[in-house]
């Protein structure tokens, strides 16, 4: 009996290229009913009943090497097993080995105690292995039907150790466990199936396993029916990104493959986007933030809104994290402060950047947005009308109005500036070292807050600006602020991971910035600024909230799964920028993979760009309007 497959069907573009139709699992209750037609139900262990959070046991050996401090231990462990197998094959015509035999040989090559080191390996298997939920349900049903359930496995662990693994994973007591290490018979050679066939003469037997050659073809030779449960990693290997480092890549792949492919559960495309592509990036970034905070003995971390919403929540899942606060911040709040000492930059940001932008803004709307409505009456004096749009043609005249009324503009901003400065002072508190965390890209927000802390408030507080990516387009500025340690970047900057910087730029920087920010959207309106009346927000973006919630849920579940498994393994938690970025890079370079999601997200122009709230432009149409 094999898993059924359906005829190929035309489907929408999917975030994950895995085809659930091709690899569909039989529903658990349906398979359990089929299995209960047999007298004896046999199961394989690893890859079937038990899952590991890594695609190769070499990751486990690397963890052991980290704990033991023995250089090249992981290689010694692999080589020792192979050497024992060759000796056994030569002497006894089989290659079944025990864990004790492996470590007796290792003890001869090192100063390690064989028994203690073997026990360490088994203890780590106990720690990391967990039940396949698909088969946990199936065995529960079969056990209720009082069926005889056995285990048949090729493994160097003992029967008692396999029993311990299954018990720790939450399986009920099974009737019998047949393991190659003790019987010197294996599924691979077929003699283990032959023995089972002899033990259960005249019984109707079925064996379930994930290795087609060993579990299926060998069993059939001895008159045992089979059910092929395709290994989750065999399914997922076709869809996982290439190029990640050995350990991080195998952990990342296993967590995703185990989560999505062990059963038939269906997931929303936005959820898959968050779990597969957003989770590793967000986790990598926040663990880097925590490492910086620990190394520099930072007292408090401020995660800036709105990207900081998901960052802060995932940071809170990390073990031994620092004190943190989600701090409301906006470009407008920063520009009002900037206007006091750098009116040029204020005009560049609020006039020229917007005049060169892709959206049309009426000059009247800009003035009202800045609460400078009294300047509307001056427009005619500068050959402007209330219907004029801010453009490269009109920007110079608007700038002239601003400079001619500079003192008035700054004075009108002062209540909001004071409210902003007071909020920053409250957030910093008594901290002597503060980290300000943002997604990127030019780092102006953190730099302005640092200016407030050190210049206006004159607090004795060291400020660190931590960005996911630093993409300051003015190259000498980009070099300056990274070289003088004003800004630290995780993924890339012009001075760090230049190849990742170039990868991010090869599709159009603004597009990639926006695509990466899809993982840090929040189900809250944009923050506009602090006022003497309280916090001011833009309109709610409710059409996007369902998609954002699903992306966020995917990220949260991935980070939870990863941290739950490896929170005590600091080197596995230490995800490099390359490993965090490569899945996203593969995604952004794959045509059509995100089209459905991008088509369901509305670009929010806010009160400034869309005063009448009429725009329904999607992320997809915005990103690809010129293609």
Torsion angle of C-alpha atoms 52, 56, 61, 67, degrees rounded to 10: -60
pTM above 0.85, yes or no: yes
pLDDT, position 610:
59
Neighbours of 291 (CB within 10 A): 15
Q: Where is the domain boundary, 66, 89, 123?
A: 123
Q: Which residues of the chain have pLDDT under 70?
A: 1-15, 17-22, 358, 507-509, 591, 605-615, 625-627
Q: Which two tokens stand for residue 351?
A: 């006039």
Write down the residue that tokens 């462990």 correspond to.
77
Say if 486 falls within a structural domain. Answer: yes
- Judge whether 248 lies within some domain: no
Alpha carbon distances (Å) from 238 to 9, 294, 558: 19, 38, 20
> What pLDDT shows up at residue 10?
32
CA distance 382 to 336: 24
Q: For 179, left (φ over 0), alpha (ψ -120 to 50), or beta?
A: beta
Give CA–CA dist 297/433, Å, rounded. 7
- The predicted pLDDT at position 543 comes to 87
* 203 inside domain: no
Out of 84, 106, 123, pick the residue that ends a domain: 123
Give the bridge partners for 489, in sequence order.
467
* Overall domain count for the chain: 2
**pLDDT on residue 4:** 30
Residue 399 domain-assigned? no
Three-state DSSP class for 275? helix
* d(C-alpha 44, C-alpha 208), whole Å: 6
Q: Which helix (H) or strand (E) holds 389?
A: strand 389-390
- Position 222 in a domain: no
Break the chain down into helix, strand, coil percent, rounded to 5. Answer: 55, 10, 35
Please state, in angstroms and as integers, the Cα–Cα distance from residue 78 to each residue in 60, 99, 180, 182, following that order. 11, 12, 18, 20
Residue 12 lies in a domain: no
pLDDT reported for residue 357 = 77
**What does each C-alpha distance from 575 to 39, 264, 563, 582, 603 come to in angstroms?**
48, 30, 12, 12, 32
Of all helices (H) and strands (E), which one includes residue 118?
A: helix 114-128
Candidates 198, 189, 162; CA nearest to 92 is: 189
| CB proximity list for 505: less than 8 A, separation 6 or greater | 471, 512
Is 74 domain-assigned? yes
Angle among Cα 9, 14, 15 to the nearest 5 degrees reads 155
Residues in the chain: 627
Of 73, 96, 123, which residue is a domain's last? 123
Q: Where in the sequence is the domain holding 76, given as residue range(s)?
A: 58-123
Strands (DSSP E) along 218-333, which ranges? 225-228, 300-304, 323-327
- Give 298: exposed, middle or buried? Use CB within 10 Å, 0-12, 13-18, 19+: buried
Domain contains 586: yes
């Amino acid at each position: 009996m094999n898993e059924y497959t359906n005829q190929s069907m035309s489907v929408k573009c999917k975030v994950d290229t895995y085809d659930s139709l091709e690899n569909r699992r039989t529903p658990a209750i349906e398979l359990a009913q089929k299995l209960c037609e047999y007298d004896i139900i046999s199961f394989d262990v690893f890859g079937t009943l038990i899952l590991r959070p890594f695609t190769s046991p070499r990751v486990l050996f690397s963890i052991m090497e980290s704990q033991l401090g023995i250089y090249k231990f992981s290689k010694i462990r692999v080589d020792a097993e192979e050497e024992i197998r060759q000796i056994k094959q030569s002497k006894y015509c089989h290659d079944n080995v025990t864990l004790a035999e492996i470590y007796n040989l290792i003890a001869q090559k090192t100063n390690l105690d064989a028994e203690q080191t073997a026990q360490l390996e088994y203890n780590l298997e106990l720690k990391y292995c967990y039940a396949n939920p698909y088969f946990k349900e199936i065995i529960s049903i079969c056990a209720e039907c009082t069926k005889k359930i056995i285990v048949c496995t090729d493994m160097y662990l003992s029967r008692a150790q396999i029993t311990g693994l299954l018990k720790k994973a939450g399986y009920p007591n099974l009737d019998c466990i047949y393991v190659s290490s003790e019987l010197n018979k294996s599924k691979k050679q077929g003699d283990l199936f032959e023995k089972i066939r002899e033990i259960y003469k005249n019984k109707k037997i079925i064996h379930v396993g994930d290795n087609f050659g060993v579990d299926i073809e060998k069993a059939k030779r001895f008159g045992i029916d089979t059910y092929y449960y395709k290994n989750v990693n065999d399914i997922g290997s076709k869809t996982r990104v290439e190029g990640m480092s050995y350990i991080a890549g195998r952990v990342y792949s296993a967590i995703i493959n185990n989560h999505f492919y062990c059963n038939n559960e269906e997931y929303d495309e936005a959820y898959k986007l968050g779990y597969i592509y957003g989770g590793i990036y967000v986790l990598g970034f926040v663990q880097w933030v925590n490492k910086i905070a620990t190394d520099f003995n930072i007292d408090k971390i401020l995660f800036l809104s709105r990207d900081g919403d998901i960052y802060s929540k995932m940071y809170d899942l990390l073990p031994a994290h620092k004190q943190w606060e989600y701090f409301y911040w906006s470009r407008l709040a920063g520009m009002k402060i900037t206007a006091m000492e750098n009116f040029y930059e204020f005009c560049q940001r609020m006039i020229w950047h917007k005049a060169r932008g892709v959206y049309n803004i009426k000059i009247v709307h800009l003035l009202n947005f800045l609460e400078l409505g009294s300047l509307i009456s001056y427009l005619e004096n500068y050959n402007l009308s209330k219907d004029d749009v801010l453009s490269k043609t009109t920007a110079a005249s608007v700038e002239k109005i601003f400079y001619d009324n500079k003192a008035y503009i700054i004075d009108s901003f002062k209540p909001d500036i004071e409210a902003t400065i007071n909020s920053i002072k409250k957030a910093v508190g008594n901290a002597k070292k503060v980290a300000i965390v943002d997604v990127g890209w030019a780092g102006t927000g953190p730099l302005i807050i640092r200016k407030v802390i050190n210049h206006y408030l004159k607090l004795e507080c060291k400020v660190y600006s931590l960005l996911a990516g630093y993409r300051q387009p003015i190259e000498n500025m980009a070099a300056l602020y990274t070289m003088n340690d004003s800004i630290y970047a995780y993924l890339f900057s012009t001075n760090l991971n230049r190849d990742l910087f170039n990868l991010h730029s090869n599709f159009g920087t603004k597009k990639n910035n926006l695509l990466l920010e899809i993982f840090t959207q929040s189900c809250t309106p944009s923050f506009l600024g602090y006022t003497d009346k309280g916090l001011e927000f833009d309109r709610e973006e409710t059409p996007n909230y369902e998609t954002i919630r699903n992306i966020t849920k995917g990220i949260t579940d991935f980070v939870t799964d990863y941290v739950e498994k490896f929170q005590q393994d600091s080197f596995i938690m230490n995800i490099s920028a390359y490993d965090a970025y490569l899945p996203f890079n593969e995604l952004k370079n794959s045509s059509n993979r995100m089209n459905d999601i991008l088509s369901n997200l509305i670009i929010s122009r806010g009160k400034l760009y869309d005063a009448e709230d009429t725009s329904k432009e999607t992320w997809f149409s915005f990103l690809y309007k010129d293609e």
